[in-house]
Amino acid sequence: MSEDSGPTAPSDLLAAYTDVRATTERLAAPLSAEDQTVQSMPDVSPTKWHRAHVTWFFETFILGPNDSSYRPFHDDYAYIFNSYYEALGERHPRSERGLISRPGIHEIAQYRSSVDAAMSSFLANTLDASVCELVTLGLHHEQQHQELLLMDIQHVLSRNPLKPTYQSPASDATSSGPPPKARWMEYEGGVTEVGHDGVGFGFDNEFPPHQVLLSPFALADRPVTCGEWMSFMESDGYSRHEFWLSDGWAIAMAQNWQAPLYWFRDPESSGQWHQFTLSGPRPVDPDQPVSHISYYEADAYAHWTGMRLPTESEWESVARHRAEGDNFLGEGPPQPRPAVTTNAMFGDVWEWTSSAYTPYPGFRAAPGAVGEYNGKFMVSQYVLRGGSCATPKGHTRATYRNFFPPGARWAFSGLRLAQDP
């Protein structure tokens, strides 16, 4: 975490806490008790589990160690709602979270309300800087789970033959015409610094700042669109092994990948491509950034074009001088908007990079259980940058390092091309 990790005045922390916690409840509100209990694959967690786990985080890391009068809401919740913290004891298996019918959503609501009341009283006190940092970490942690909640419920609802709608769109973003052809932003390279500078909040995996040497490169000024992806598909990109990494090819064949996740042919519209969204099935908009693709697919597409994916250092060196973007989590269900050529490199879709998720030089995990937050996952994953339409506004930044296994497809993940001179 940073030296200056965000609000420290009690009123600021309490306001931030109240806002983040209310957003989670707003996101869960359209869902029934049955919706909130389903686990459609091992990587997905039920909505009610997300709501409880982020509550357990505040109870375990803030109230328990710092409020001598606090008593846990339920003695067994630590076993059920611990995610991966080995230092805190045994946990219920991740793949079996959907088997927990009780506690139900009403008990989870009571749990959240009880912890919120205790946290409100606690945050009214003068707090040490280290405690403020942990509270701020907890808020950013809950924002991460807000995006996961949406990713997961989209997968849950997509498995229902009725193709139900999570929520109707607040407004139907329509394209004003195909986006201009992507232009190339050229950079001379050289020695540059990447990583968090310590001003404002940052996760531990963004530290320490360090210098890297970049060769000259060019970066596309917008993400790849669905229409461009269709050209890859029409060129038999999914069945031509020469574009694919060996592991990716094996997974694509074993799982019969023919298109991005959630795409399907609609027989009622002459077999046109549709996609399942949080607003239900919709025609694929060729002008939107392609989403729900794995690292393997992104890399195969880049090879098909003769280009490549950017490294995370290349991406960051460009993004720190670019506009923030505006398509983040809002009132309606998230959906990428039609691509345009702008200075923005944030929002709409997370962008795969070619960089493996590894520690920066000099990285040290924090002591204690909280040190398990990111460091233990620095293997067998790839870095994504930029945030998505499901990311809470203000949560991401140029140094933010998201990461997923290379075969993961259920995130709002797309790509932006890079090339050498």
User: Looking at the predicted structure, is the pLDDT value of residue 343 above 80?
Assistant: no
Residue 234 identity: E
The rounded mean pLDDT for the chain is 93
Q: Which residues pair with 263 in a beta bridge?
A: 275
Picking from 405, 312, 401, 400, the residue whose alpha carbon sits closest to that of residue 353 is 312
Which residue in this structure is represented by tokens 């990494």? 245
Instruction: Give the integer Cα–Cα distance in Å for 50 and 52.
Output: 5
158-196 per-position pLDDT tens digit:
999 999 999 988 665 555 667 888 899 999 999 999 999
- pLDDT for res 169: 81
43-60 per-position pLDDT tens digit:
999 999 999 999 999 999
Residue 146 identity: Q
pTM: predicted TM-score of the whole model, two decimal places: 0.95
Element (H, E) at 271: none
Burial degree of 386 (CB within 10 A; 0-12, 13-18, 19+): buried
For 344, list phi and psi in degrees, rounded to 5.
Answer: -75, 140
- pLDDT for res 270: 85
271-286 per-position pLDDT tens digit:
899 999 999 999 999 9
Instruction: Give the integer Cα–Cα distance in Å for 34 and 26.
Output: 17
Q: Which CATH superfamily is domain 184-419 in?
A: paralog of FGE (formylglycine-generating enzyme) (3.90.1580.10)
Instruction: Give the integer Cα–Cα distance in Å for 185 and 217.
Output: 8
Where do the domains of the chain lie? 10-158, 184-419
191-246 per-position pLDDT tens digit:
999 999 999 999 999 999 999 999 999 999 999 999 999 999 999 999 999 999 99
- pLDDT for res 175: 54
Mean pLDDT of 395-419: 97
Mean pLDDT of 63-90: 94
- Higher per-residue confidence, 231 vs 87: 231
Sign of CA dihedral 380, 386, 390, 394: positive
- pLDDT for res 147: 98
173: left (phi over 0), alpha (psi -120 to 50) or beta: beta
